[in-house]
Structure 1
Amino acid sequence: MMRDNDTGDSRDGMRVVGEATNQAEAFQAAQKTAPDIFILDLDLRAENGLDFVPKLISSFPAARVIVLTSSTEIEAHQRAVQSGAMGLVLKEQGAEVLIAAIEKVYSGEVWLARSLTASVLSRVSRSSSNNEEALKIESLTKREREIIALTAQGFKRSQIAEKLFISDSTVRNHLTSILSKLELSDRFELVFYAYRHGLSKPPV
């Protein structure tokens, strides 16, 4: 569990605020420390790490989850993403990769290894599509789709306004409409939704 460190006395402004060996310990520690990021080891022996992801997200909605695993099974990665994990890092990758993942996820972006991005998100997109979501997406206007794509690419509201030759307030109004139509709570959820449903291409 990690939080942003304003004092700067830890690496890259991050600090570990708690460690746990099981779900009960994790909940107890998180309630005391309110972490910004959970780093969850999926390779738990006694408990199912995948089942723990949605529990963490529902209990600590302000936090984000990065899963750490030695498994190369795409199905497991897909389940982690569908459960709401914002990042997935393989244990064979170095510490620098984990640091980069933490920084990206903290800023609201999705982190997947390049070798996994296309396969995981394409499967998630196919498996998560249904009539209800299709109807929501069909209700989007052309302009709203453009704004979704630019948002998912990491552009800020003012940058989107400049690119589309519209005002900042117009972009804000469109985003409000988009979140309402898709029943999402914020830009972070919108970015992930766009990847899952083919409204924007994931990073490669």
Structure 2
Amino acid sequence: MRPTLAPAAQPIRLLLVDDQMIVREGLRLLLESQNGLSVLGEASNCPDAVALAAREQPDIILLDLDLGDVHGLDCLPELLAVSAKSKVLVLTGVYDLEIFHQAVSRGAVGIVRKMEAAEVLVKAIRKVYVGEVWLDGALMARVLSDLWRVKSGQPLEAVVTAPMRFGMAQRDVMEQFWSPQIEAPNPDEAARIAQLTEREREVISLIGEGLRNQQIADRLSISVITVRHHLSSVFAKLDVGDRFELAIYSYRHGLAKLPL
């Protein structure tokens, strides 16, 4: 009797939006060379992108902010209006926290700079697909600060030209920071978390409180070098890139409490 084959996992379906053909072709070649990624369409302008998004309902939209006549920021809410479950990952050649903040305010769940290595973009796609955010640490701190003020009933500063418009995917991600209910990790995440030692869990909890390495060392009566060793081990076990990504991961999986 032949064994039953498990059904193949569905690929992550991508829509590319960039006004430069050479960039789109390069992205397509890169992404389709990766396991589990599929480019379902390309668009060079906002109207075509909106039409494609409405028809195809992609998992992730890679959106360049410079679309010629129309700024990507203006196109972003139109894309989410016709494909609310899509997650928008912004591509940009500049580093401007103000623009990044506006992109997040209008529904983006991640921002990747074009100067980053190809593997960074691929990792960002996979992360946002499973519900993570992919944001610069300084921007994430600003977003969390805004969410804190909203939660506290305090007015936001007039830093954006449009009201906060969270897409469905982004709203789901952001609300997890404030939800009193911690979602059970999937089997893969549970296996990663189970590898953590008790001391590593203590370090993670203190990272979640915003403590620096020296403060953690003082609190636990260990050396700063030992703290660094623990963090290196934690980063590897949980597949996170830095302490800010670790803090977000720890809030989502109940390893630390968000300081409210």
TM-score, normalised with respect to structure 1: 0.60
Q: Distance in 1 between matches of 2:117 and 2:33?
A: 18
Query: For 1:20-31, what aligned pairs fall within 5 Å after superposition?
Result: 20-31=43-54
Question: For 1:155, which of 181, 185, 191 is the aligned residue?
Answer: 185
Aligned pairs, how many?
145
Relative to structure 2, which stretch is displaced further, 98-107 or 27-36?
A: 27-36
Structure 1 spans left out of the alignment, 5+ residues: 136-143, 164-190
- Secondary structure at the aligned position of 2:142 is classed as helix
Query: Whose Rg is larger?
Result: 2
Residues 89 and 112 in structure 2, CA contact (< 8 A), matched pair in contact too? yes
Q: How far is the alpha carbon of 1:34 from its aligned partner?
A: 2.1
Query: For 1:90-101, what aligned pairs fall within 5 Å after superposition?
Result: 90-101=113-124
Which of the pair is proportionally richer in helix?
A: 1
Deviations 1:175-196 (A, max 9, x none): xxxxxxxxxxxxxxxx8xx89x
Residues 92 and 112 in structure 2, CA contact (< 8 A), matched pair in contact too? yes
Question: For 1:121, which of 136, 140, 151 is the aligned residue?
Answer: 140
Partner of 1:77: 100
Q: Distance in 2 between matches of 1:35 and 1:67?
A: 15
Partner of 1:102: 125
Q: Distance in 2 between matches of 1:50 and 1:30?
A: 16
Relative to structure 2, which stretch is displaced further, 39-48 or 66-75?
A: 39-48
Query: For 1:111-190, what aligned pairs fall within 5 Å after superposition?
Result: 111-112=134-135, 116-117=136-137, 119-130=138-149, 133-134=151-152, 145=180, 147-148=181-182, 151=183, 155-156=185-186
Q: How far is the alpha carbon of 1:130 from its aligned partner?
A: 4.4
Going from structure 1 to structure 2, the CA distance change for 1:81 and 1:200 (only over 3 Å counts) comes to farther
Question: For 1:43, which of 63, 66, 77 is the aligned residue?
Answer: 66
1:61 pairs with 2:80 = no
Q: How far is the alpha carbon of 1:51 from its aligned partner?
A: 2.0
Q: Distance in 1 between matches of 2:110 and 2:121?
A: 9
Identity %: 36
Going from structure 1 to structure 2, the CA distance change for 1:43 and 1:123 (only over 3 Å counts) comes to same
Q: CA RMSD in A?
A: 3.3
Q: How far is the alpha carbon of 1:56 from its aligned partner?
A: 1.6
Deviations 1:84-104 (A, max 9, x none): 211110000121111111111
Going from structure 1 to structure 2, the CA distance change for 1:155 and 1:200 (only over 3 Å counts) comes to farther
Q: Distance in 1 between matches of 2:54 and 2:73?
A: 21
- Secondary structure at the aligned position of 2:152 is classed as helix
TM-score, normalised with respect to structure 2: 0.48
Residues 43 and 70 in structure 1, CA contact (< 8 A), matched pair in contact too? no
1:33 pairs with 2:56 = yes
Structure 2 spans left out of the alignment, 5+ residues: 1-11, 15-31, 154-178, 195-247
